[in-house]
Amino acid sequence: MKNHYQFATQAIHAGEAPCPVTGALDTPIYQSTTFVSPTSDEMAAVYGEEKFGYMYTRYGNPTLRALEEKLAALEGGEAALVASSGMAAISTAILGYVQQGGHVVAARSLYGAAYNFLNKKLPGMGASTTFVDSTRPEDFEKAIRGNTRLIYFETPSNPVLQILDIAGLARVGRSHNIPTMIDNTFASPALQQPLALGVTVAVHSATKYLCGHGDAMGGAIVGPKDYIQELSHEVLRDFGGVMSPFNAWLILRGIHTLHLRMPAHCANAQKVAEFLARHSQVRRVNYPGLPEHPGHDIAKKQMKGFGAMMSFEVTGGYDGGKKVMDRVKLFARAASLGDTRSLIVHSASTSHRAVPREQRLAIGVTDGLVRLSVGVEAAEDLLSDLEQALDF
Ligand SMILES: Cc1ncc(COP(=O)(O)O)c(C=O)c1O
């Protein structure tokens, strides 16, 4: 497909074409583990990659391929690879650059499992990570060593919505010849295009906004063609975390409405954030769409909308946070994010309960911090639910 089409057109058409055999307009779910070859010579040629073809779903599958082509088009990357979950994508993508003896410079404010992978799993493999507390690209640059192989970050970050300067970090990477990798899950390519700002690789939990409906796990990596090919051949095939064709189909279907869902999510989130910021039971709201957010100006420059993830600190600390959770009627007490439904999580008693309190406070996850994934229900209903939940 021509790449001059606009985002909305690409979201629907990129990577997909009617089946040349049956005329099926929607991409079929190729629910097959293996693919047959007409002759032994052809089979050998496909295995030897002298001829394009499918052989085994862990090595590639037409439904997965359609999703990969769509994601590459939407992120503006050369190629993409999908994986069974966001964490399968993130670990695969990092291992594509970092081996024994290697070093990563990473933002401190990261999704918990990504932080654990860098902080605990990489050292077990003989590599290391320096976490940077600051948002200034210069401070990331200072942490670079001779053996640094990757700069890894997330913006907006989970769950404190830290905003980093994407173009600034990409510049630091380029000037040291070190690849940069961003987790673009919170924004999705509908709101933020990091590759166009100079980042080398974008990773995703496709489980979230890309899928959009809370019914499929998946992950994605978008970046240079040679790197993606190497990941596919040398990392994902061996670790084995491939996406199922059915999940790829659900995520493809979700992406058809990504450009419609994201503005609706953002509009609701802005109203919720402004409501919370005015509420007497709320101490602080972390939402980049609020002018008082420290990353507001950068977010405005690098995002097309501020997203629909936010966190806020309720009065009453730990018990206050739990109380809000118990009192909501429409928001679902549930992990994950990016669904059409609105979700709520009290971080200290759930996602961060295993993190020592001092460490938790250092990354901004205070006792009363409540995270919202604002859905696309009627804004008025969401506001009245929060109003009654905070009336204690
Ligand atoms: C920002 C971010 N990245 C990655 C992940 C991991 O994705 P998955 O749960 O699909 O493995 C999550 C999960 O919540 C996330 O919030």
Three-state DSSP string of the chain:
CCCCCCHHHHHHHCCCCCCCCCCCCCCCCCCCCECCCCCHHHHHHHHCCCCCCCCECCCCCHHHHHHHHHHHHHHCCCEEEEECCHHHHHHHHHHCCCCCCCEEEEECCCCHHHHHHHHHHHHHCCCEEEEECCCCHHHHHHCCCCCEEEEEEECCCCCCCCCCCHHHHHHHHHHCCCCEEEECCCCCCCCCCHHHHCCCEEEEECCCCCCCCCCCCCEEEEECHHHHHHHHHHHHHHHCCCCCHHHHHHHHHHHCCHHHHHHHHHHHHHHHHHHHHHCCCEEEEECCCCCCCCCHHHHHHHCCCCCCEEEEEECCHHHHHHHHHHHCCCCEECCCCCCCCCEEEEHHHCCCCCCCHHHHHHCCCCCCEEEEECCCCCHHHHHHHHHHHCCC
How do residues 314-355 score in pLDDT, each as one tens digit?
999 999 999 999 999 999 999 999 999 999 999 999 988 888
What pLDDT is attached to residue 356?
Answer: 87
- 21 and 135 share one domain: yes
What is the predicted pLDDT for the residue at 31? Answer: 98
Domain total in the chain: 2
Residue nearest to atom 9 of ligand 1 (CA): 86
Residue 49 in any domain: the answer is no
Any ligand 1 atom below 6 A from CB of 211: no
Q: Are residues 352 and 241 in the same domain?
A: no
The answer to the question of residue 367 being in a domain is yes
Domain range for 146 is 7-30+61-255
Q: Are residues 354 and 226 part of one domain?
A: no
pLDDT of residue 155: 98
Ligand 1 in contact with 93 (CB < 6 A)? no
- The pLDDT score that the predictor gives to residue 87 is 97
CATH (domain of 337): 3.90.1150.10
Residue 2 pLDDT > 60: no
Q: Is residue 52 part of a domain?
A: no
228 plus 289 within the same structural domain: no
Confidence check: pLDDT of 229 > 80: yes
98 Cβ closer than 6 Å to some ligand 1 atom:
no
From 197, 227, 255, the end of a domain falls on 255
What are the catalytic residues?
58, 111, 183, 208
Residue 282 and residue 139 in one domain:
no
Quick check: is 56 in a domain?
A: no
Q: Is 156 in the pocket of ligand 1 (CB under 6 A)?
A: no
Q: Is the CB of 92 under 6 A from ligand 1?
A: no
Indicate whether 141 and 271 sit together in one domain.
no
48: in domain: no
State residue 355's pLDDT score.
85
Choose the residue to mutate in 162, 205, 309 for probing ligand 1, maximizing ligand atoms within 8 Å of C-beta: 205
State pLDDT tens for residues 114-162.
999 999 999 999 999 999 999 999 999 999 999 999 999 999 999 999 9
Sorting pLDDT into bands at 50, 70 and 90, what band is 3? Answer: low
Q: When comparing pLDDT for 297 and 354, which is higher?
A: 297
In a domain, 213, yes or no: yes
Among 226, 255, 284, which residue terminates a domain? 255
Ligand 1 centroid–CA 205 distance in Å is 5
User: Chain-wide mean pLDDT for the chain?
Assistant: 97
Write down the pLDDT at residue 256: 98
Task: Tell me: do 179 and 301 sit in the same domain.
Answer: no
Do residues 203 and 287 share a domain? no
111 CB under 6 A from ligand 1?
yes
Q: Is the domain of 218 the same as that of 232?
A: yes
Report which ligand 1 atom has the smallest distance to the Cα of 218: 10
Asked whether 157 lines ligand 1 (CB < 6 A), one says: no
Q: Are residues 326 and 238 part of one domain?
A: no
Closest-lying ligand 1 atom to the alpha carbon of residue 185:
1
Q: How far is the CA of 134 from the centre of ligand 1 (A)?
A: 22
Give the residue from 255, 287, 303 where a domain finishes: 255
Closest residue (by CA) to atom 15 of ligand 1? Answer: 111
**Would you state the pLDDT for residue 1?**
62
Structure-block tokens of residue 157: 């970050």
- In short, whether 217's Cβ falls inside 6 Å of ligand 1 is yes
Residues 170 and 289 in one domain: no
158 lines ligand 1 (CB under 6 A): yes
**Within this chain, do residues 351 and 214 fall inside the same structural domain, yes or no?**
no
- Least confident piece of the model among 5-9, 25-29, 347-351: 347-351
Predicted confidence (pLDDT) per residue in 41-70, tens digit: 999 999 999 999 999 999 999 999 999 999
| Ligand 1 probe mutation, 92, 154, 161, 207, most atoms within 8 A of CB | 207
CATH code assigned at 185: 3.40.640.10
Residue 359: band (very low, low, confident or very high) from pLDDT cuts 50, 70, 90: confident
Query: Whose Cα sits closest to atom 14 in ligand 1?
Result: 336
Distance 357 CA to ligand 1 centre (A): 22
